[in-house]
């Protein structure tokens, strides 16, 4: 996910197959994408916990094992989909902080705290290292930092907590600060020309088409529930998916709460199928995760119609 409020830095990368969404240029869409990443992180960690996996590496190993088990016993095995790593790159944090600062600060802090185990990583850049952009909350949670040449020792302290970056000579000269280093380490960054970038991008585009998930850019599809900055949320998860009742009918008719089955039957990605399954659990239609086995279905088709009618009348 590439976020480019300046609109000109990342646009050459549009069309590469790795992009989850087109390059994001609107502040509100950027806030929504970051909120989605928080929800996806929490969903992944919940799945990992149910399977006894501590991180994405252990989970993906279990996913590979589940595929082998399914080949031997396709009727009773729940096939786990391997999860991709997600990298979120923000080119200019200052523009986001001016427009949607509260939401962005919260999301970045949450992701920096917990998302590494879920396979979600952040690269955040700004040309204005002031305390109202690089806030104390963001600094406390982003411990690996790089500073290029800055105007003053004060700016250097904002980034690195120490002076020094004001003495760098430019042209890729940088200081790296991370917890295991006693003091910032001076490193030479490399230069990549526009022509080289264009050649690599063109090569990547030849490998395949991107599969965009533009729904994550719609703010009304993302609610953080009890994790929201002001604690005002009530649902604690993702809002109802338009396919949730179709999914409920599938699990009731098959008697099997299988995420991979929903993925096939509904022609959706594994992440969305997983969120739909979480919604079904919240509605009392399926039970909690059951390791590598399908979830227990708690209602029959008659009870399902009752639940649906009650929710629609209540809404």
Domain locations along the chain = 2-205, 240-314
Q: How confident is the model at residue 315 (pLDDT cuts 50, 70, 90)?
A: low
Closest CA to 174 of 152, 195, 156: 156
Q: For residue 224, what is the DSSP state?
A: -
Q: How confident is the model at residue 302 (pLDDT cuts 50, 70, 90)?
A: confident
Predicted confidence at residue 274, as pLDDT, reads 86
Please state, in angstroms and rounded to a whole number, the distance separating the CA atoms of residues 31 and 104. Answer: 6
Q: Please, what's the b/e burial string for 178-211 (b: 16 or more CB within 10 A of its CB; e: otherwise)? A: eeeeeebeeeeeeeeeeeeeeeeeeebeeeeebe
Lowest-confidence region among 186-190, 236-240, 284-288? 236-240
Task: Please report the DSSP string for 120-153 in residue order.
Answer: EEEEE--S---TTTS-HHHHHH---EEE---SSH
183: left (phi over 0), alpha (psi -120 to 50) or beta: beta
Are 258 and 294 within 8 A, CB to CB?
A: yes
CATH of domain 2-205: 3.40.50.300
Token pair listed for 217? 């850019």
CATH class of 240-314: mainly alpha
Q: What is the dihedral of CA 131, 4, 121, 84, to 10 degrees?
A: 170
Q: Is the pTM here over 0.85, yes or no?
A: no
Predicted confidence at residue 92, as pLDDT, reads 92
Predicted confidence at residue 224, as pLDDT, reads 42
Instruction: Please measure the distance between the N-terminal and C-terminal CA atoms of the chain and give it in whole angstroms.
Output: 34
Main-chain dihedrals φ then ψ at residue 235, nearest 5 degrees: -85, -25
Please state, in angstroms and rounded to a whole number, the distance separating the CA atoms of residues 295 and 53. Answer: 18
């Amino acid at each position: 996910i590439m976020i480019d409020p300046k609109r000109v830095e990342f646009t050459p990368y549009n069309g590469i197959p790795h992009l989850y969404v087109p390059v994001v240029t609107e502040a509100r869409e950027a806030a929504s994408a970051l909120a989605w990443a928080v929800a996806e992180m929490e969903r992944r960690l919940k799945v990992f916990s149910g399977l006894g996996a501590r991180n994405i590496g252990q989970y993906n190993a279990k996913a590979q094992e589940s595929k082998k088990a399914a080949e031997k016993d396709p009727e009773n095995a729940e096939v786990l989909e391997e999860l991709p790593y997600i990298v979120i790159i923000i080119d200019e944090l200052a523009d986001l902080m001016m427009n949607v600062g509260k939401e962005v600060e919260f999301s970045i802090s949450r992701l920096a705290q917990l998302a590494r185990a879920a396979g979600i990583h952040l690269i955040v850049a700004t040309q204005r290292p002031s305390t109202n952009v690089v806030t104390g909350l963001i600094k406390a949670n982003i411990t690996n930092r790089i500073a290029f040449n800055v105007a003053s020792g004060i700016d250097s302290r904002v980034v690195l907590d120490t002076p020094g970056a004001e003495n760098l000579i430019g042209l890729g000269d940088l200081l790296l600060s991370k917890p295991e280093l006693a003091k910032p380490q001076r490193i030479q960054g490399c230069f990549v020309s526009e022509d080289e970038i264009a050649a690599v991008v063109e090569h990547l585009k030849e490998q395949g088409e991107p599969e965009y998930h533009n729904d994550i850019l719609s703010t009304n599809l993302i609610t953080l529930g009890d994790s929201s900055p002001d604690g005002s949320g009530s649902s604690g998860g993702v809002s109802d998916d338009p396919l949730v009742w179709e999914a409920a009918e599938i699990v009731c008719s098959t008697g099997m709460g299988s995420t991979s089955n929903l993925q096939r039957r509904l022609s959706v990605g594994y992440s969305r199928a997983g969120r739909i399954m979480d919604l079904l659990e919240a509605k009392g239609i399926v039970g909690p995760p059951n390791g590598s086995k399908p979830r227990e279905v708690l209602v029959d088709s008659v009870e399902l119609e009752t639940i649906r009618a009650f929710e629609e009348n209540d809404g």
